[in-house]
Copies of this chain bind each other. A is one copy, B any other.
Amino acid sequence: MTVKLTVDCMGGDFGPSVTVPAAVDFVRSHDDVELILVGLRDAIDAQLDRAGAKAQARLRVAPASEVVAMDDPIEVALRRKKDSSMRVALNLVKDGEAQGCVSAGNTGALMAVSRYVLKTLAGIERPALATFMPSQQGHTMVLDLGANVDCEPQHLLQFAEMGHAFVSAVDGKERPTIGLLNIGEEVIKGNDVIKRAGELLRASTLNFHGNVEGNDIFKGTTDVVVCDGFVGNAVLKASEGLAQMLMGMIREEFGRSVFSKVGAICALPVLKRLKRRTDHRRYSGAVLLGLRGLVIKSHGSADAYAFGVALERSYQAVRNGVQQRLAQALEENHLDPVQADVPQADLTQRAPLDARA
């Protein structure tokens, strides 16, 4: 099977100067991949020239005349820039020209345009940005990471359903455990949205562990941690910042004196492994869950290595049929809100079952 992906070459802080070299490296290292490079033709061609890849048959350029800037409001991305690289790349997925799209563009815009172009899966109102974060037990799937800054309780329930479906599809766990990120384990903790989300989760058929706190992500207390996008984004970025600071501290401590430098030489193989394990670029490539098509979001500040990781993630997802398995798992496990006996919870904002398909 050939894996076909579209690449939004204009997204991210560095655009084609990062995305094109990463794409070139990727087709060179994967014989069964075809990439469609979407964006301003001249900018892409210039980078292909530099990389000596103009003749590469498995790289095709699909021109797009507009670019969604990192600070463009969602409305601009959605309504004005109809020929943006982001939009064109997603349209190619919708039309079946590719099995997935990779973009390092503006998260809010990517979410809005994806939702508009691809539509959501049955029962899902809003896609969520999800990624695995490392934990003492392996990894924890955390969502949402910034696609939804204001969530209602039923959105958190849907995130849990998507997390459940994704982890069961990818990790083969039948009933992954779900934690609700809160400021304490006790049921009484948190704001109103969180308390009502807890009620919905307890009433659901999901394997709900209960409230978890920030540290539980790294302890691996549950397989999935659900939170609104504002909190998830803050936690993700703070974690990246802390990991970078700690690695800097290690370098600093080992460089402090002749003795510690000798220690560093002895410890070099260990330090190298550690550096690799804590490199946040390895976790580049969050998946936009809940859409009728695979969309992978790379970090806006991604370099070519990190963007390559996002490409690899998309490639693996396509090869493993994640999108199909997710849709199937969602269908099988989807909680019927009408059956849930949760008097205090407001379910009125959720579309009725028959309107979902």
Contacts and interface: CB of A to CB of B under 8 A. Distances in A.
A301 to B, nearest CB: 10
Contacts of A250: 274
A252 B71 CA distance: 42
**A108, A135, A246, A254, most chain B CB atoms within 10 A:** A246
A149 B228 CA distance: 13
A242 B239 contact: yes
A132 to B, nearest CB: 14
Contacts of A245: 134-136, 218-219
A238 interface: yes
How extensive is the interface on chain A, given as a class? 35 or more
Interface string A186-199: 10111110100000
Given A242-B218, A278-B246, A259 B269 contact: yes
Q: How many copies does the complex hold?
A: 2
Given A191-B149, A218-B244, A266 B269 contact: no
A246 B249 contact: no
Interface stretch (A89-97, A209-217, A288-296, A342-350): A209-217
16 contacts: A71-B186, A107-B183, A146-B183, A214-B236, A214-B241, A215-B240, A215-B244, A219-B245, A230-B231, A231-B231, A231-B234, A246-B246, A253-B273, A254-B267, A266-B266, A266-B267
Interface of A: 70-71, 73, 107-108, 134-136, 146, 149-150, 181, 183-184, 186, 188-192, 194, 213-219, 227, 229-231, 233-246, 248-250, 253-254, 256, 259-260, 262-270, 273-274, 277-278
